[in-house]
Structure 1
Amino acid sequence: MPAPDAPTHDRGGAVALVVAGVLFAAYPALRPYGDLVPETAAAAFAAPSWLAAHLSAVFGFVLAGIGLAALARRERTGALRAAVGVWWVGAVLCATYYGAETFALHVLGARITDPAQLAVLAEALRMGPVQVAVFGAGLLLLAAAGVLVVVGLPRARAAALPFAAGAVLFLPQFYAAPGLRIAHGVLLGVGCVALAWLLLRPAGVSGDGRDAAVPARR
């Protein structure tokens, strides 16, 4: 339950983080992995769960950014303010790539039945130099934002670590088996919930439950 004296933006930010956590966990769990095999790629791309999974990730990026902004307003540290800006730029770059993969591959899967032709088109759409550069830069910025969140919460680093780990591992998890990708989604989801808890704790209490001095406004 929210603390009775929690400001409205803290409560709203906490809700955004919890929903983001659910969406990040849902993304790899809902995602069909039939595209790992050319013969079943069309069915995977055309499945409604392909859309649901990738849109979950996109909305997760947005809601996490809203939650981080609320956390930065509460904690008022330079590192957290930087984390918000870095996260949003990374989220925009990632969402650009996700948009193409989500909708373009969904249409291709529904209309192209030749596995070889579909594989060539999917590879061109996903791995073009511009696409890779945009997506790679976005993922690296998300990782940097995760590290900045830990730096910006010196009295609550243990609570911030799951989110940071999930952000840092977002890039390498794409090369992991489906089970590990699902585990990564759960890790990032737990991290978002932990940050939501930090937003709802009473003011002046550190992440380990001890009284903490409220930082001076800068």
Structure 2
Amino acid sequence: MSRNALAIAGVFFLLYPVLRPWTDETTTAGAHEAMSSTAWVVAHFLAMIGFVLVPLALLGLRDAVGLAPAAVMWVGTGLTLPYYGAEDFGLHAAATKGTNLLAVTEATRYNPIAVTIFGIGLVTLAVGAVLVAVALWRSGSPSRYAAAVFAAGFVLFLPQFFTPAPVRIAHGVLMLVGLMWLAFSLKPAARVRTPQLSGQGAA
């Protein structure tokens, strides 16, 4: 379950920039073309699912990394998702209802509270990912190099928003590599089997 969740998250984080329409969103025509498309909705939704899957997977890997990274990343996810929801569904609705799209986009993306919470959420996710890397480096785990790539992807998540499309797609590749590598190098917590006493049945 944990491996699958990390691997799927990696695929989703790659598909997010690959499927997202890249147009000039500073113009009404460009913003409308991107935000009114189904690809816009699907791409952002996949990113949101990716954010949910990562801390969920870390719960299953708690024996290797502890509970702190999962808890921190849950907080980061909770702070990040409202902004993604507004980008995904709010701007899509504005684009399809014929409103002043550029004004709505500006108000949505740069609302002081919204953008602050979004930034704090992504920084918190980065802290959680770094905690994973630190835990695996301290334990000498063979997965420590994978964890370093995993952490780098989350540390760079916020800065990549200020880069052009090719860099953002490259960041998606980094996320895929880090999550896939971590998924298949870490083992989930083993089940503890309770020995049964000979000669006695179950209660």
Match of residue 134 from structure 1: 117
- Cα distance in 2, alignment partners of residues 151 and 96 from structure 1: 29
Check if 1:145 corresponds to 2:128: yes
Of the three residues 161, 181, 191, the one matched with 1:174 is 161
The CA deviation at 1:162 is 1.1
Q: Which amino acid in structure 1 is aligned with residue 32 of structure 2?
A: A
- Cα distance in 2, alignment partners of residues 71 and 53 from structure 1: 27
Of the three residues 179, 183, 186, the one matched with 1:196 is 183
Identity over aligned pairs, percent: 45
Check if 1:67 corresponds to 2:53: no
Mark the structure with the bigger radius of gyration. 2
The CA deviation at 1:200 is 3.8
Q: Secondary structure at the match of 1:32?
A: coil
CA contact (8 A) 2:26 2:102 kept: no
Q: Which amino acid in structure 1 is aligned with residue 158 of structure 2?
A: L
The CA deviation at 1:48 is 0.2
The CA deviation at 1:87 is 0.4
CA contact (8 A) 1:94 1:134 kept: yes
Structure 1 residue runs without a partner (length 5+): 1-11, 204-218
Q: Which amino acid in structure 1 is aligned with residue 162 of structure 2?
A: Y
Check if 1:34 corresponds to 2:23: yes
- Cα distance in 1, alignment partners of residues 133 and 20 from structure 2: 29
- Map 1:97-176; keep pairs closer than 5 Å: 97-112=83-98, 117-154=100-137, 155=140, 156-176=143-163
Structure-2 change in CA distance of 1:110 and 1:157 (3 Å): same
Structure 1 vs Structure 2 CA RMSD? 1.7
TM-score, normalized by length of structure 2? 0.86
Q: Which amino acid in structure 2 is aligned with residue 112 of structure 1?
A: G
Structure-2 change in CA distance of 1:81 and 1:109 (3 Å): same
TM-score, normalized by length of structure 1? 0.80
Of the three residues 71, 76, 83, the one matched with 2:69 is 83
CA contact (8 A) 2:51 2:77 kept: yes
The CA deviation at 1:35 is 4.7
- Cα distance in 2, alignment partners of residues 199 and 183 from structure 1: 24
Q: Could you report, residue by residue, the CA deviation over 1:118-169 in whole angstroms, capped at 9, with x for unpaired residues?
A: 2111100111011011101101101111111110102232121111000000
Check if 1:21 corresponds to 2:33: no
- Cα distance in 1, alignment partners of residues 178 and 104 from structure 2: 36
The CA deviation at 1:86 is 0.7
The CA deviation at 1:37 is 3.7
Structure 2 residue runs without a partner (length 5+): 191-203
Q: Secondary structure at the match of 1:163?
A: helix
Match of residue 186 from structure 1: 173
- Cα distance in 1, alignment partners of residues 176 and 109 from structure 2: 26
Q: Secondary structure at the match of 2:84?
A: helix
Check if 1:48 corresponds to 2:38: yes
CA contact (8 A) 1:43 1:110 kept: no
Q: Which amino acid in structure 2 is aligned with residue 85 of structure 1?
A: A
Please identify runs of 4+ aligned residues in structure 1 that moved more than 3 A: 200-203
Q: Could you report, residue by residue, the CA deviation over 1:156-204 in whole angstroms, capped at 9, with x for unpaired residues?
A: 321211110000000000001100000101101111111111234998x
CA contact (8 A) 2:61 2:187 kept: no
